[in-house]
Amino acid sequence: MNYPKEIRINEMVLRDGLQLEEKVLSVEEKHSIYDSLKKAGIQSFEFGSFVHPKLVPQMANSGELFTEIAQDAEGIELIALVPNLKGAQKAQELQVKEINFVFSASDTHNMQNVRKTTEQSIEELKEIHSFSKESGMKLNVTVATSFGCPFEGEIPESRVLSCLKELEPLQIHTVTLADTTGMANPKQVSELMSKVVSEFPQLDLGLHFHNTRGMGLANILAGIEAGVTRFDAALGGLGGCPFAPGATGNVCTEDVVHMLHSMGMETNADLSALLEASASLEKLIGHPNKSYILKAGPYDRKYPVPELSN
């Protein structure tokens, strides 16, 4: 297998990572996470979302955070999640340059998430597409529950491909398929993504995995082998969907970077700096995170040989 030389990481901790945390972090605390990740070489961030603060109070200060970090963000992608046209308009008012709209391949999950059917969300996407084009904002789309729904179970491949056909004429900047509650397996990822890459070669594709059942890294590898080179991840493995039962954290950024670097693929990220950021994150959230590498160290870590006792 000839693996790609470089993989792009889109950091999700400031949005997806923090939205299930009991502690609501201040702008200053979020800014410190951003600074530590930027220092580690991360160049793409989903920094927050413009949802109603009563629904996701952890994201209520996303606008304030953007105003601060945008002042020194040359060469950095700062992406806001928007649930609807109103969210896109809010992003435009703040001069956000890139937004991400999410809808679900599963009607049931989409209803739980935004109180609309998948088809209704796609119609709203078309409005957002027109608005973002007029406003000069890049528009990304994430198709949630692409690998399974906690309510409906298996999502047919034909359903996912049908959603992508709806997106094809819109010329979306990046299209990400999301495993919202960690139901995917490597064989499934390989088969679906091989078809997607073949049928939609013009799409800039990404993948978003959760490690709910411990298969996140294996699924990333299956995605890479199918031709995908952009992946979402969250520092410390934090995160999950507030509207999906059993949701747990994203694949962990430092674990992903460690795997890729050990296989000879580059990410522009500095693993040592990521581990420092992960340790600082634990102090901010007040509990251990889910990073394996923070606990065990990288694969090439060497220990002193203990002296043998007589």
- Check pLDDT > 90 for residue 310: no
- Check pLDDT > 90 for residue 247: no
Query: Is 211 among the domain residues?
Result: yes
Query: Is 73 among the domain residues?
Result: yes
Q: How many domains does the chain have?
A: 1
Q: What is the pTM of this model?
A: 0.96
pLDDT attached to residue 267: 98
Query: Is 23 among the domain residues?
Result: yes
Give the pLDDT mean for 199-222.
97
Q: With contact defined as beta carbons under 8 Å apart, do 191 and 160 qualify?
A: no
Confidence of residue 135 (pLDDT cuts 50, 70, 90): very high
Taking only the tens place, the pLDDT of each residue in 90-113 is 999 999 999 999 999 999 999 988
Q: Is there a catalytic annotation at residue 149?
A: no
Query: Is 303 among the domain residues?
Result: no
Confidence of residue 158 (pLDDT cuts 50, 70, 90): very high
Query: Is 305 among the domain residues?
Result: no
Query: Is 301 among the domain residues?
Result: no
User: CA–CA distance from 298 to each of 41, 178, 295 (Å)?
Assistant: 18, 27, 9
Query: Is 177 among the domain residues?
Result: yes
Query: Is 58 among the domain residues?
Result: yes
CATH number, domain with residue 190: 3.20.20.70
Domain that holds residue 171: 8-296
Confidence of residue 248 (pLDDT cuts 50, 70, 90): confident
What H or E segment, with its residue span, contains residue 178? strand 175-179
For residues 279 and 267, give the distance between their C-alpha atoms in angstroms, rounded to a whole number: 20
